[in-house]
Structures are given as C-alpha cells and as structure tokens.
Chain A
Amino acid sequence: MTKGYWTRIIIVVFIVASLGFSASTLFHQSLRLDESQSLWVSTKSVWAIIQYLSLDVHVPLYELILHFWLQIFGVSIIAARSLSFLFFIASLPMLYLVAKKASNTSIALLTITLYSLSPFILWYSFEARMYTMFTLITIVSHYYFLKLIRTNGQKGQVGYFFATLFGLYTHYFFVLLIISQCIFLAVYHRQRYMEQKKSVLLAQYPYILKKGIIAFIPPLLLSILLFLPWAIYFILQGAAGNTQPEIPPSTVYDLFQAVVNFLFGFSPLTIQSMLVALWPLCIIPIFFLFSKRSAPTKIHNMLYFVSVTILPVVICFLVSYYKPIFLARYLIFITPSFFFLLSWMLFQTSKQLSTLVISIFAFIMFSFVVIQNISNSTPVKENYEGVVRYLNTHVTPSDIVAISTPFTIYPIEYYYTGSATIVTIPLWDVYKSGSIPPYTTAKLATQMKSYASVYQDIYVVLSYDQGYEASIKKYLDTHYQRKLLKEFSPGLELREYKLRYE
C-alpha cells in the first residue's frame, strides 16, 4: 500500500474518532438556552415563526427549515441537533472542493481534517442552532464566488445568487461576508487592471474586466432586493430593540479569544487565558504568508481567503466600539477560510517539518475536543437538564421555582415535570407577546412578599446575568435563609431559600 493511502486512512480514522467521540458526548448533553429558543419557535406555525423572529436578532430561514424537519422526525432535541450535524457533514465535501480548486488535494484534505477536528466546529455541529448551516452556505458562496472569478463572470451566477440569498436569511453577519467579497473584488480587479494596462492586448482587457465585475452585480442586487422585505419588516417591528442580548464591549482579548476558540474550542477559562497570552505566536504565520511559497495556490485565491477571513473580524471588531456585536460564534462563517489558510501555511515548510507540525496540531486539537466535551468547567456548557432533574425530584406543590433571567425559562420548561409553580424574576409571561419588563429591587421585594404568604421554599435558578443577578442574590441573602447553593455549570446556579417558618 502506498504512503498516500495510509495517510488517507489515518485522516479518516482521526475524523471518525473525533466525530464519534463528539457524537457520544454532545448529542445527549443538556439543552442550552439558545437551542431551547430555536426548538420552541420551530414548533410554532410558519407565520408565528416569522413574527417571533422579526422581534429577535436572528433571521428565520434556519427555524423554518427546523420547523419542517421536526415535523418529519419529531420534536426532540436529538432530532434538532441532527439537522445541524447534517449541515456539518454536507460542508465537508463542499469545503474539500473549494480548497482543492484553490490549491491541491493534500491541502484540501488537511483543511477538512482540521475543520472536522476543530472543537469549536464540533460544538456547533451538535447544537440546534443555525451555525453549521451558516458555514455551509458560506462555503457554497466561496465556491460560486471563486467560480465567477475563475471564469471571468461566465459561470456561477445562479449559485452565487442562491448562496447570497440563503446566507442573508440565515444570519445577519452574512452581510460581513458580502462586504468582504466586494472589497476583494475591487482590489483584485484594480490589480488586474493595472497589470493588464501594461499588456499588449490593452484594447480588449478593459472590456473583459468590466464583464467580470458586472457578472457579480445581478446576483448580488437580486438577493439584496429579495432580502429587503424582511429587512423592512424587521425594522418596522422595532429592529429587535428589546430582545438584543447583552454583549459586553469588545476588547483585544476577545479578538484573540475568538482565534483561540476557532482553533481549540471552549476550554476552561484558565486554559483559554493561557492560550490568549500566547498571542506573540501570531507573528509566525507571517513567515508562511509573506515568504516565497512552495505550496501551490494562485495569488487571487490567497488574497480572497485572507480577505474573507480577516475583513469580517476587523469590521465586526470596529463596529463593536460603537455597538458591541463581537461574538466568536457569530463569526463562525470565517472558519472554513481560516482552516484553509492554516492548512496552506502548514504545507509551506519542508515535508518532515510540516508532517511533524500537522501531527502535533491534530493531536492538540483532538485533546481539546476531549477537554471541551467532558469537562464540567467548559464555559459554554449550560446544564439546565441537571438543574431541572434536581428540581423534579426535590420540589413540592408548596414550593415555588423562580427563574432569572426570564428567557432562560425555555430550556427549563423543556425538561420540567415537577409539581411546583414556575415564575420568572422579573415577572414575565412567555406566552404573551411583549418584551421582558425591566428589573427593579422594589418589584422583586413585592414579588417575594406575595410568595412568602403562599409558599414554603423558593428555588431560584440564576443564569445569563443581564446585569441584575448580583442584586437578586443580595436581596435574597439578606432577607431569607439560604438552604442550598449549587452550581451546575459555569454561571448556572440553583439556590433554595426558606420563605417562612411554620
């Protein structure tokens, strides 16, 4: 058997091991808040989904697909997660194709290996959210965009149109990809124009160039035009003014943390801060990117992948100074090009060195998959299932369960079978349309007094601090006797207080 054959075998074994391990650990883990919202919304009618999401910070395509998916396979978290996993699986051959067209088979194989070993990607491949669908559409967009470039606007218009349209309806951040593609297009065509200006065939080149640029306009315009109705509707509904998540202002730390997340996923915070502190190593890629190249690639491909990897991050980071929007998961769509660039760089050195570095890299990534999936300190883990399991076995009809922040009621309701009443702090009726009322200590005091006369104990589930968690804790600790404090996952606490003595 040839060496290449064995390499492929090892790659397949690695990918299968990584996927198998992730499937066994992530498919069955507790429902998370975001997932519960997707699941909850997707069980509504099509019109209700559109209405609900017009008030939210997300676009409706994923929830609509999930809606029909659940109709076929039943409403369960496993079924919902399977859809994300399917998108992930579909993105592998597509990414291979894009990478191969831009470089060669070896780099393409390494790209999909690293992509499928990435703890970050694996995490979202088993989450009932739109992220893997978002990356799949991004890869399709890369494919048709580069096809349009390669054929000077002759082929790929239809594919690019659909990719852009679906991308816009999958995540608002797809706009960042479109902007990056437009910037690339402007720079690339200017470069070509300057090069060809010197050419003998000057007379016909401007025409060809013009045609190359014009080919992008109809699919772009048409998709934007078809997105406009949603955009107008969204703005008329208040542009998610009341449902935007509290995102802290971005710092440079977040920037590096995002890169660490892409490569090594969500490890415990001490490990993450250690990895972020290794930031000077960011200099090393310079020697691969900006030195005589041995691995094959056409310059326009490199420029494209660099543009669609770096520009969205830069734009997002700069915008975040005005309005914080920087979240690593929202930037998941840059990971395919990021892993392509990484693979290409790893192939720039000598064969022995690149084999050694790739092996070490793959091993480290796989180790982080294990750490992320099994560690209880993984910061993105939300063990609502554990909390509710505890509540189901401990609460009685004379108790009350209070949940804060109110929107975390979705995952709790999914599992809850207990006999106690569930309320939220501040009080909010999830079944009535309208935003969550603001929190005040006075309102909390009134709420608690009303419970004290009826219930024996109150179980308070605290997670997703929206700025008033400390105040709730302080009020409860100073007014009632605390009987229990238990942390189920980072930032998810259960507290039990005695309301009255009888």
Chain B
Amino acid sequence: MVNNIKQRSVSRSLIILNCVMALIYMGWWFYFPHADNMILYILLLLGEIYHVGMALGFWFTIYPRMAKKINKGFFNDSLEVDIFITVAGEPVAFVEKTAKAAKDLNYPKKKIYILNDGYIAQKDNWEEIEQLAKRIGVQCITRKTPGGAKAGNINNALRQTKGQLVAILDADMVPHNNFLSELVPYFVNERVAFVQSPQYYKNNEENNITAGAWEQQNFFFGPIMQGKDKLNAAFICGTNVVVRRKALLEVGGVNEQNIAEDFLTSLFIHQRKWQSVYVPEVHCEGLAPEDLLSYYKQQHRWARGSLEILFRFNPFFRKGLTFEQRFQYLLSALYYLNGIIVLIDIIMPVLYLYFGVQPVAATTTSFALFFIPYIYFSFYTIYIASGESITFRAISFSQSSWTLQLSALYSLLRGKKVQFAVTSKQKKVGNFLFLIYPHLLYVIIAITGVIINIFRFGVDPAVTTNSAWVIINIVFFLPFIKAAYQWNNLLHVFSFPWHLHNFSKTNI
C-alpha cells in the first residue's frame, strides 16, 4: 500500500541559481544578431519564452515557503458526509469494490450514493448497477434527464441529498479505510471548501501506459500540487476529494459548462475566498488508463477543458483571486499550449535539412554554453523536487502529447463541442498505431532528411548538429511510440518459422 507521494523540498539557492541561468539563457536569445531567418528565429524565441516562463512558474510553485495555516483538527464525526460514487457504464465489479470500501470507512456519519449515469450514457449495465446498490445496501441515484455529463450527475445528486460534506469518488477509486477520518478534520476550519488527496494508480506496473500515466500523476501530485497548496491554489481533481456543500452550492454546484469541470469549479470557489487543502497522502487507489487510446482520450479531455478555461475564463483576469492563485491557474492551463511549442521545436531541424533555412546564424557551440547549464540545472531541480522519482518516460509522454494538445486546440478554435467521456478502466484491445502516425511520420521524414543531407554535403557541422537535434526529438518520442503497439509482434511476423521446420527431413 502506498502512503504518500514522493516529493522533496528544493533549496532557495538552487531556485535562485536556476532563475539566474534562465535569465542568462534568455539573454542569448534577445541578442538579435544571432538570427539568420528572422521568422524562424522569432518562432523559436516565442517557444523559448514559453519554456522559460513555464520553468519560472514551476520554480515559483515549488519555492520553499511556509505552509499556509490550516491545521488539521482532531477527529470529528459531527459533520455528515455524502459519498458520491460516479458511475457511467464502468464494470459492476469495479463499482462494487468501491462501494463496499466506502461502506467500510471508519467514519460513522456517512451516506453512500452510487450516482448512476449509465441510463443517460446509454450503457447496458445501468440496471445491474441499481441491483448492485440494492444488494449491498447503498442508495442509487439513476439520472433520467440528461445534461452536464459528470458535473450534471453530481449536481443532480446534490439536489437530492443534504450532508454538510460531499466526498466524490470515481467508480474505480477504492478508498482506504481512513479516507474520511483523515480528510474531514480539516473542515474544522469553516473556510475550508475542499480537501483533495492524490489519485494513485494501483495498476501502475501493468504496462508502459499505466506506468507513464502514473509517473506523470506522481509528479503532478508531488511537487506541483504541494506547491499550489501552499499558495491556496490546489484544485479539485475530479475524484478523491471531500467538498463542503455550502461552498459548492455557493458557486452553483459543479460547473457544467466545461469538460474540466473540477478545475473550473475550484477556480470559482477560490474566487469566493474559500480555502483549499491538498493532503499528499494516498487514501484511494484507482486504475490508470491501460491502453494508448484511453490515455489519449483522457489527456485530450484535460487539454481541451484547460485550454477552454484559458480562452473563455482566463484566470488571470478573474476577480477575487490572489495574484498567486491567478498565476497558478494560468500556469496549469498554459501547460496544454506545449503542443505548439514542441511542434515548432521539432520542425526546425527538418526545415534546415530540406530547405537549408535555419533560425540561428551564430555558431551553435556558443549557444550550447548558455543552453546546457540552464537545461541541466532545470532538470536537476525537477529531479530533486520530485523526490528523485521523475522518469524519462513521464517526460517523454508529456512531450509526445503534442499531437493531442494540438488537436484539442484545433477543436477549441473551431468551436467543436466535445462530450465528456469517462476514462476507460479496462484495457481496449486493438491497434492504436493511428495515434502515433504523426510521430512515425516525423521519424521517417527527419531520418530521410538526414540521410539525403549526409549524401549531399557529407558530415558538414550544420548537418550534423541538426541531425543531432533530430535524434534528440526521436529519443523523446520513443517511449510513447513503444507504448502504442506490441512491437514484439512484428518480430514474430517477420521471423522465419524455424519451429515449424523439420530439419531432420531436410534434403540438401
């Protein structure tokens, strides 16, 4: 059983050193005589401003500061908790496990509700869920009027229940016995609106996808959420959270306008000066997406929701938020613009290899003097902040998600409506290579470009340096490409079936 999320505090001096390195590095970029093709240079410069800005934001988030004064009270069961288990077609076995664990919680004043959205979502098992609720003795609220997806489901239940606190659990998130007894005491403070705990994926060693997804979560629920918490900017992450009904009702329930409903609801709650708490201890165990398609859909939903918030509810201009809260919400939303920047970065060496245009005229080794210390210190800080647990796979997954981030941005700009879809908890079998076609295409185009250039110009330094950038980009994509397909199958397809060949009967 995992009890806490890895994280380590980073010294002030290291963060200051990082900032100095970043400023020196940006100094190189703002010296415009370095430019060759000005358009490409400006594009890269914008990308670097984004990178450095996000890095500065991260260092600001993890900067060692005193935690805000919200004391955990003594165990107190005076508050009544309604436990909402949101279901929209998940397997009955999963729901049963979660509901039974909820019943076993060592908190007496609780009522358990299965919020059954299977009927609305036209899932076959919606009646089985009702039968399950009856069988194990919990209440089931089956919605018949559609609207608002998961948020609508919760709001529907809010209208039919009356506990002072509401605990929200996804169908697969099995709570530990002490989930409520550990989280509820924070509500002694009357201004606490919600207490969030991490989403731990117990199937994280199942395959590359679950491992990558968990490693990303681990980093988010480690240094990032703990840093946000100190700034009273932790947000609701959809599940494993206890919310004060009063705060929720004050903002009109869970927001139904956005598919990142949890994120936006938190923002509205913070706008009304409520306090939030993040507890970095694992109190529920759930399931990570087990296949690339489910992972893709989950990330796409988060990206689309966050980008929509960025454009429609820009946190930086919302009244009632502190500067730190504005900045933190903005940072979280801006993360999903990374797709554009990755695209710019990966396309530059290819442009050189095919068209001979390059953004930078300066000798690239002088650039290295500014870039390498900055990048090494940045990664060292991430490594320390993550409690030495960050993995290359996690970084690769986040960099390789540029396609889904671009797709989310594109759908937003076109005003396409996206339906809330529950992340699949069961492995889908199939060929998901189509999700990595852009990555494979890049590999083919880039390597062809490298080969052509080597034949044309030999090992010219410019060709070599651009080829090295291509290699770096491909290395970044490898874990993601690996996760998309059972590549071992290919070996079987192309290998000679020796085992079927009877050598003893071979005539020479």
Residues on A close to B: CB < 8 A?
A: 251-253, 255-256, 270-271, 273-274, 276-284, 286-287, 289-293, 299
Interface contact B380-A273, CB-CB below 8 Å: no
Q: Could you say which residues of chain A place their CB within 8 Å of the CB of B380?
A: 289-290
Does B352 touch A at the CB level, under 8 Å? no
Judge whether B368 and A274 touch: CB under 8 Å: no
Q: Is the CB of B388 within 8 A of A274?
A: no
**Given known contacts A286-B379, A291-B391, A276 and B365 CB-to-CB distance under 8 angstroms:** yes
Contact A280 B376 (CB under 8 A): no
Given A278-B464, A280-B469, 18 other A-B contacts at CB below 8 A? A252-B363, A252-B366, A256-B365, A270-B459, A276-B461, A277-B459, A277-B464, A278-B468, A279-B465, A284-B472, A284-B475, A286-B376, A286-B379, A287-B392, A287-B395, A291-B390, A291-B395, A292-B391
Given A256-B365, A270-B459, A290-B379 in contact, is the A279-B388 Cβ separation under 8 Å?
no
B365 A251 Cβ-Cβ under 8 A: yes
Bound-complex Cα distance A256 to B468 (A): 14
Residue B389, interface by CB 8 Å: yes
Chain B interfacial residues counted at CB < 8 A: 30
A289 to chain B: which residues have CB within 8 Å?
Answer: 379-380, 383
Nearest opposing residue in chain A for B478, CB measure: A353
In angstroms, Cα B396 to Cα A372, docked, is 37
Answer yes or no: B337 CB below 8 A from chain A CBs: no
Asked if B20 CB lies within 8 Å of chain A CBs, one says no
Complex contact A256–B368 (CB within 8 A) = yes
Q: Which 9 A-B pairs give the minimum distances between C-beta atoms?
A: A277-B464, A290-B383, A277-B461, A274-B459, A280-B468, A287-B392, A252-B365, A290-B379, A252-B369
Q: Separation in Å of the B16 CB from the closest CB of chain A?
A: 15
What residues of A have a CB within 8 angstroms of the CB of B76 in the complex? none
CB of B382 within 8 Å of the partner chain: yes
User: Once the chains are docked, how many angstroms separate the CA of A279 from the CA of B462?
Assistant: 11
Beta-carbon nearest neighbor of A271 in chain B = B459
Which residues of chain B come closer than 8 Å to A290, judged between CB atoms?
Answer: 379-380, 382-383, 390
Q: B79 within 8 Å of A by Cβ?
A: no
Q: How far is the CA of A282 from the CA of B469 in the complex (A)?
A: 11
Most buried by B among A251, A273, A281, A283: A283
What are 12 A-B residue pairs whose CB atoms fall within 8 Å in the complex? Answer: A252-B369, A253-B363, A255-B365, A274-B461, A274-B464, A276-B461, A277-B464, A281-B471, A282-B368, A290-B390, A293-B388, A299-B388
Q: CA–CA, A282 to B465, complex, Å?
A: 11
Minimum CB distance partner of A194 in chain B: B11
B385-422: contact bitstring with A at CB < 8 Å (1 yes, 0 no)? 00011111001000000000000000000000000000
Contact A253 B468 (CB under 8 A): no
* Residue pair A292, B469 in contact (C-beta under 8 Å): no
Q: Which residue of A lies closest to B473 (CB)?
A: A280
Q: Does B444 contact A (CB under 8 A)?
A: no
Give the complex CA separation of A282 and B382 in angstroms: 18
Q: Is the CB of B390 within 8 A of A282?
A: no
A273 proximity list for chain B (CB < 8 A): 461
Q: Indicate whether B364 reaches chain A with its CB closer than 8 angstroms.
A: yes
Question: B465 and A280: CB pair below 8 A?
Answer: yes
**Which residues of the partner chain A approach B461 to less than 8 Å between Cβ atoms?**
273-274, 276-277
CA distance A283 to B472 in the complex (A): 8
B389→A278 contact, CB < 8 A: no
A291 engages B383 (CB within 8 Å): yes
A291 and B365 alpha carbons, distance in the complex (Å): 26
Chain B residues lying within 8 Å of A292, measured Cβ to Cβ, are 388-391
Q: Does B372 contact A (CB under 8 A)?
A: yes
Main secondary structure of the interface of A (DSSP, over half): helix
B452 within 8 A of partner (CB): no
Residue B2, interface by CB 8 Å: no
Q: How far is the CA of A282 from the CA of B366 in the complex (A)?
A: 14
**Which residue of the partner chain B has the closest CB to A256?**
B365
Which residues does chain B contribute within 8 Å of A252, judged by CB atoms?
Answer: 363, 365-366, 368-369
> Contact at A283–B395, with CB atoms within 8 Å?
no
Contacts of B475 in A (CB 8 A): 284
In the complex, which residue of chain A has the Cβ closest to the Cβ of B465?
A: A277
Expressed in whole angstroms, the minimum distance between the Cβ of A6 and any Cβ of chain B is 23
CA distance A374 to B185 in the complex (A): 76
Once A274-B461, A292-B391 are accepted as A-B contacts, the answer to whether A279 and B383 lie under 8 Å apart by CB is no
Chain B residues near A270: list those with CB within 8 A: 459
Contact with A along B94-117 (1 / 0, CB 8 A): 000000000000000000000000
Q: Which residue of A lies closest to B367 (CB)?
A: A252
Identity of the chain B residue whose Cβ is nearest the Cβ of A251 in the assembled complex: B365
Separation in Å of the B400 CB from the closest CB of chain A? 14
Check: B375 CB closer than 8 A to any chain A CB.
yes
How far apart are the CA atoms of A281 and B366 in the complex, in Å?
15
Residue of A252, A276, A291 ringed by the most chain B CB atoms within 10 A: A291
Whether the Cβ atoms of B459 and A279 lie closer than 8 Å is no
| Minimum distance in angstroms from B397 CB to a CB of chain A | 13
The answer to whether A278 and B372 have CB atoms under 8 Å apart is: no
CB-CB nearest in chain B for A353? B478
Among B366, B375, B391, B465, the residue within 8 A (CB) of A278 is B465
Residues of A within 8 A of B472 (CB): 280-281, 283-284
- Which residues from 203 to 228 on chain B have a C-beta closer than 8 Å to any C-beta of chain A? none
The distance in angstroms between the C-alpha atoms of A286 and B462, with both chains bound, is: 23
Q: Which residues of A contact B389 (CB under 8 A)?
A: 292
Q: Which residues 340-361 in B have Cβ within 8 Å of A in the complex?
A: none
Q: Tell me whether A291 and B459 are in contact in the complex, defined as CB-CB below 8 angstroms, given that A280-B468, A280-B472 are known contacts.
A: no
Report A-chain residues with C-beta under 8 Å of the C-beta of B471.
280-281
CA–CA, A290 and B391, complex, Å: 8
A277 to B475, CA, bound (A): 18
In the bound complex, what is the Cα–Cα distance between A282 and B368 (angstroms)? 9
Please give me the residue from chain A that is nearest to B470 by CB atom: A280
Q: Which B433-467 residues have C-beta < 8 A from chain A?
A: 459, 461-462, 464-465, 467
Closest-CB distance, A298 to chain B (whole angstroms): 12
Cα A277 to Cα B368 in complex, Å, equals 11
- Chain A residues near B462 (CB-CB < 8 A): 277
B218 to chain A, nearest CB (A): 10
Question: Taking the nearest CB of chain A, how far is it from the CB of B385, in angstroms?
Answer: 11
Contacts of B372 in A (CB 8 A): 282-283
A279 touches B468 (CB 8 A): yes
From residue A277, how far is it (CB to closest CB) to chain B in Å? 4
Task: Give complex CA distance A406, B244 in Å.
Answer: 88
Q: How far is the CA of A284 from the CA of B395 in the complex (A)?
A: 12
B467 to chain A: which residues have CB within 8 Å?
278
Chain B residues with Cβ below 8 Å from A282 are 368, 372
Chain B contacts for A293, CB-based, 8 A: 388
Assembled-state Cα–Cα distance A282/B367 (Å): 13
- Which residue from chain A places its CB closest to the CB of B6 in the assembled complex? A292
The CA-CA distance from A294 to B495 in the complex, in Å, is 32
- In the complex, the chain A residue whose C-beta lies closest to that of B390 is A291
Which of chain A's residues have a CB closer than 8 A to the CB of B459? Answer: 270-271, 274, 277
Closest chain B residue to A278 by CB distance? B468
Chain B residue nearest in CB terms to A253? B365
Shortest Cβ distance from B11 into A: residue: A194
Bound-state Cα–Cα, A286 to B472, Å: 12
Nearest CB on B from A413, distance (A): 40
What's the minimum C-beta distance from B278 to chain A, rounded to whole angstroms? 22
Residue on B nearest A317 in the bound complex, by CB: B369
**Distance from A140 Cβ to chain B, minimum over Cβ atoms (Å):** 29
Chain A residues near B391 (CB, 8 Å)? 291-292
**Nearest CB in chain B: distance from A160 CB, A:** 28
Residues of B within 8 A of A278 (CB): 464-465, 467-468
A277 to B464, CA, bound (A): 6
- Cβ of B197 to closest chain A Cβ, rounded Å: 23
CB-nearest residue of chain A relative to B386? A292
Q: Known: A284-B475, A287-B395, A290-B390. Is A277-B376 also a contact (CB below 8 A)?
A: no
Once bound together, how far apart are the Cα atoms of A278 and B460, in whole Å? 11
**In whole angstroms, how far apart are the Cα atoms of A276 and B365 in the complex?**
8
Task: List the A residue with the shortest CB-CB distance to B373.
Answer: A314
Q: How far is the CA of A271 from the CA of B461 in the complex (A)?
A: 10
- Most A CB contacts (10 A, CB to CB) among B368, B369, B380, B383 go to B368
State whether A286 and B375 are in contact (beta carbons under 8 Å apart), knowing that A279-B465, A291-B392, A292-B388 are contacts in the complex.
yes
